[in-house]
């Protein structure tokens, strides 16, 4: 197999890192690099692990994973057949699988069909356009499958805001993860790409789209619905106003001993002061807690702020936390009534946009300075991506359901007098 890599592709290829995370613009040559690495890895029959053990790779597979199987087949299948012309023994068109002359296999998979990824040992995997996959595909399925062979992975694609792909890219730059390495390349880094093509694309695209697609920028906003710039961060909360607390529970899962724990998403407790200037979000307490700790945090939030109303979204999670909430109220001698919150037959994205967009655009949503600001504003930037978290936004949006307008000063009506004594009006 004869291949030619440009300088930036070669830099990634030569890196000894086990896990490589590449954010690159369109036409950088991501697919070509991925195809080369797939064949290089599949050509290996054995591997010596870091513990000195030699592993037979005959039964370990090599995967190319795209957001969907059809997308992967369209992008990678023709390229693989061309690249590995002298290495391929058999092609299986329907399943997108190549059997090489050494007996090993390369398969195209879609992350939207996770069941097709399970139960197979892997020695190498390419996750293309990882920003558009659910992060649990890597964490729960792919990563464990690489364990026996101490396999490697290439994450490659264009950014989609600062979602899980961004978090992984940042992690790969940390000294705490020596097996990881990250790169960032705009499209122009491909020397085989004409500058005129980049210039024309810039003229045709919006500024945000060009930043994302060709400059591989993580800072390009997903939409104009909830721009972080709409929110003002303040150092102190207003003196007047009434507190409201709304809670979005992520759900619990049964584990040993019947205890329930949070699995993936976060619980969020939004503390908002409604005042004449709008909303001041004083805190959004969030985290992955088991059911008992969640109940404790709910009672402490009420005790600390004494809100006018305390709402929790109705559902299985609320039912699960209910008995523990009663226990904590009794233990702390702090009692309150919970207002059940409902989605009102609205989609979550519509509910969040309805509650926050108009207020934020008019400067009527303030954020009290705190560590929670960063994840909240990041969720705003990613909204409404279905792959990004929105737990904090959802909790704050529920305030719209339980709050009442704050009236500053006396509120009085003019005395009504009928215009006609006979008719009464």
pLDDT number for residue 412: 52
Lowest mean pLDDT among 20-29, 160-169, 312-321: 160-169
Q: Looking at per-residue confidence, does 369 or 253 come out higher? A: 369
Q: Looking at per-residue confidence, does 345 or 221 come out higher? A: 345
pLDDT higher than 80, residue 347: yes
pLDDT number for residue 409: 53
- Residue 388: pLDDT band (50, 70, 90) is confident
- Residue 225: pLDDT band (50, 70, 90) is confident
Location of structure tokens 């009506």: 413
Domain ranges of the chain: 7-213, 228-402
7-213 belongs to which CATH class? alpha beta
- Residue 166: pLDDT band (50, 70, 90) is confident
Q: Looking at per-residue confidence, does 370 or 226 come out higher? A: 370
Cβ-in-10-Å burial (0-12, 13-18, 19+) of 239 comes to exposed
pLDDT higher than 60, residue 221: no
SS (H, E, C) the chain: CCCCCCHHHHHHHHCCCCEEEEEECCCCCHHHHHHHHHHHHHCCCEEECCCCCEEECCCCEEEEEECCHHHHHHHHHHHHHHHCCCCEEEEECCCCEEEECCCCEEEEEECCCHHHHCCCCEEEEEEECHHHCCCHHHHHHHHHHCCCCCCEEEEEECCCCCCHHHHHHHHCCCCCCCCEEEEEECHHHCCCCCHHHHHHHHHHCCHHHHHHHCCCCCCCCCCCCCCHHHCEEECCCCCCCEEEEEEECCCCEECHHHCEECCCCCEEEEEEEEECCEEEEEEEEEECCCHHHHHHHHHHHHHHHCCCEEEEECCHHHHHHHHHHHHHHHHHCCCCCEEEECCCCCCHHHHHHHHHHHHHHCCCEEEECCCCHHHHHHHHHHCCCCCCCCHHHHHHHCHHHHCCCCCCCCCCCCCCCCCCCCCCC
Give mean pLDDT, residues 28-43. 93
Question: With respect to CATH, is domain 228-402 assigned 1.10.287.3510?
Answer: no
pLDDT higher than 90, residue 17: yes
pLDDT number for residue 322: 94
Q: What span, in angstroms and rounded, lies between the C-alpha atoms of 21 and 168? A: 7
Q: Which residues contact 294 (CB under 8 A, 6 or more apart)?
A: 249, 262, 267, 321, 324
pLDDT higher than 80, residue 283: yes
Mean pLDDT, rounded, of the chain: 86
Give mean pLDDT, residues 415-419. 61
7-213 against 228-402: fold identical: no
pLDDT number for residue 386: 72
Q: Which residues contact 151 (CB under 8 A, 6 or more apart)?
A: 60, 122, 123, 124, 125, 145
pLDDT higher than 70, residue 22: yes
Q: Looking at per-residue confidence, does 252 or 299 come out higher? A: 299
Location of structure tokens 């990824």: 117
Q: Looking at per-residue confidence, does 256 or 72 come out higher? A: 72
pLDDT number for residue 208: 62
Is the full-model pTM beyond 0.75? no
Q: Looking at per-residue confidence, does 162 or 148 come out higher? A: 148
Location of structure tokens 């300088």: 7
- Residue 256: pLDDT band (50, 70, 90) is very low
């Amino acid at each position: 197999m004869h291949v030619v890599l440009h300088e930036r592709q070669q830099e990634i290829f030569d890196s000894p890192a086990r896990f490589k995370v590449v954010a690159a613009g369109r036409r950088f040559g991501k697919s070509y690099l991925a195809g080369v690495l797939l064949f290089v890895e599949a050509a290996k029959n054995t591997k010596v692990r870091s513990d000195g053990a030699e592993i037979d790779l005959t039964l370990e597979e090599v995967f190319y994973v795209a957001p969907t199987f059809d997308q992967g087949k369209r992008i990678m299948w023709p390229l693989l057949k061309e690249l590995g012309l002298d290495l391929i023994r058999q092609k299986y068109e329907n399943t997108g699988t190549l059997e090489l002359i050494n007996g090993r296999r390369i398969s195209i998979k879609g992350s939207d069909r996770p069941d097709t990824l399970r139960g197979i040992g892997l020695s190498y995997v390419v996750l293309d356009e990882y920003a558009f996959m659910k992060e649990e595909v890597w964490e729960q399925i792919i990563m464990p499958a690489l364990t026996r062979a101490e396999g490697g992975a290439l994450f490659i694609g264009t950014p989609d805001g600062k979602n899980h792909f961004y978090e992984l890219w940042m992690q790969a730059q940390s000294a705490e993860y020596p097996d990881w390495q990250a790169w960032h390349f705009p499209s122009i880094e491909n020397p085989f790409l004409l500058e005129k093509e980049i210039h024309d694309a810039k003229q045709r695209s919006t500024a945000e789209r060009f930043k994302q697609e060709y400059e591989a920028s993580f800072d390009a906003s997903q939409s104009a619905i909830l721009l972080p710039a709409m929110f003002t961060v303040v150092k102190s909360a207003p003196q007047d106003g009434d507190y409201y607390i709304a809670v979005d529970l992520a759900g619990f899962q049964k584990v040993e001993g019947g205890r329930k724990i949070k699995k993936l998403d976060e619980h969020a407790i939004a503390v908002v002061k409604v005042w004449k200037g709008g909303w001041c979000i004083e805190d959004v307490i969030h985290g992955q807690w088991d059911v008992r700790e969640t109940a404790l945090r709910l009672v402490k939030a009420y005790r600390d702020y004494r809100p006018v109303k305390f709402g929790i979204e109705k559902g299985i999670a609320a039912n699960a936390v209910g008995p523990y909430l009663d226990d904590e109220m009794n233990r702390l001698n702090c009692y309150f009534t919970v207002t059940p919150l409902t989605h009102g037959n609205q989609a979550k994205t519509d509910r969040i946009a309805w509650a926050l967009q108009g207020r934020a655009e008019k400067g009527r949503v303030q954020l009290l300075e705190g560590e929670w600001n960063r994840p909240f504003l990041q969720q705003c930037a990613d909204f409404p991506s279905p792959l990004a978290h929105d737990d904090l936004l959802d909790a704050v949006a529920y305030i719209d359901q339980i709050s009442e307008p704050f009236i500053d000063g006396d509120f009085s009506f003019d005395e009504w007098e009928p215009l006609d004594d006979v008719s009464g009006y």
